[in-house]
């Protein structure tokens, strides 16, 4: 892409891939909605979760914005704060906050994940069924 020009990527040409099982539980698919210009630029992914599917614990050096497009989702931080998100909701995760996100048990969910600052830092631990269920 040159300065001052736009690049159109058709939906039919976008590649959706299964998410790596090392970092996700359940059926999750994702696709880059636009290629990042540099490692520090805005990274936008579409992510779809089957009911009960979720990420592992992770963080983003510069934070993350999740915009829910479809279904019902969960976003939970290490302190135990729990957001139930519906289509049209945005959740802002502050820089460095340890968290996970996924679909509610009864619904598929799709969100747009927007980050800057490089790759996700995966913490090497999956969300347990007990953490997901939150029996508090």
Q: Find where tokens 């090392």 sit.
A: 22
- The tokens for 31 are 């696709």
Q: For residue 131, tell me if it sits in a domain.
A: no
The number of CA neighbours under 13 Å toward the Cβ of 15 is 3
* Comparison of pLDDT for 112 and 41, the residue scoring more: 112
Nearest to 53 by CA among 79, 30, 82: 30
Q: For residue 20, tell me if it sits in a domain.
A: no
Nearest to 58 by CA among 129, 118, 133, 134: 118
Please state, in angstroms and rounded to a whole number, the distance separating the CA atoms of residues 110 and 131. 21
At residue 35 the predicted structure's pLDDT band, cuts being 50, 70 and 90, is confident
Q: For residue 135, tell me if it sits in a domain.
A: no
Domain of residue 50: give its range: 26-123
Number of domains in the chain: 1
pLDDT at 136 over 90: no
pTM of model > 0.85: yes
DSSP state of 12: G
- At 92, which CATH number? 2.60.120.10
Residues 79-123 have pLDDT tens digits of 999 999 999 999 999 999 999 999 999 999 999 999 998 889 999
Q: For residue 14, tell me if it sits in a domain.
A: no
Q: For residue 42, tell me if it sits in a domain.
A: yes
Please state, in angstroms and rounded to a whole number, the distance separating the CA atoms of residues 93 and 110. 17
DSSP state of 13: G
The pLDDT value given to residue 72: 98
Nearest to 56 by CA among 27, 25, 82: 25
Q: Which helix (H) or strand (E) holds 130?
A: helix 129-133
The pLDDT value given to residue 135: 61
């Amino acid at each position: 892409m040159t300065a001052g020009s736009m690049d159109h990527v058709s939906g039919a040409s976008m590649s959706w891939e299964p998410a790596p099982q090392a970092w996700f539980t359940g059926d999750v698919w994702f696709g880059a909605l636009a290629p990042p210009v540099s490692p520090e630029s805005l990274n936008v992914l579409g992510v779809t979760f089957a009911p009960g599917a979720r990420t592992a614990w992770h963080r983003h050096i510069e934070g993350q914005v999740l915009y829910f497009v479809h279904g019902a989702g969960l976003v939970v931080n290490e302190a135990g704060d729990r957001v139930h998100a519906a289509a049209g909701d945005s959740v802002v995760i502050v820089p460095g906050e340890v968290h996970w996100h996924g679909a509610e048990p009864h619904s598929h969910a799709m969100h747009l994940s927007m980050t800057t600052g490089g790759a996700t830092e995966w913490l090497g631990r999956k969300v347990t069924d007990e953490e997901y269920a939150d029996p508090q």
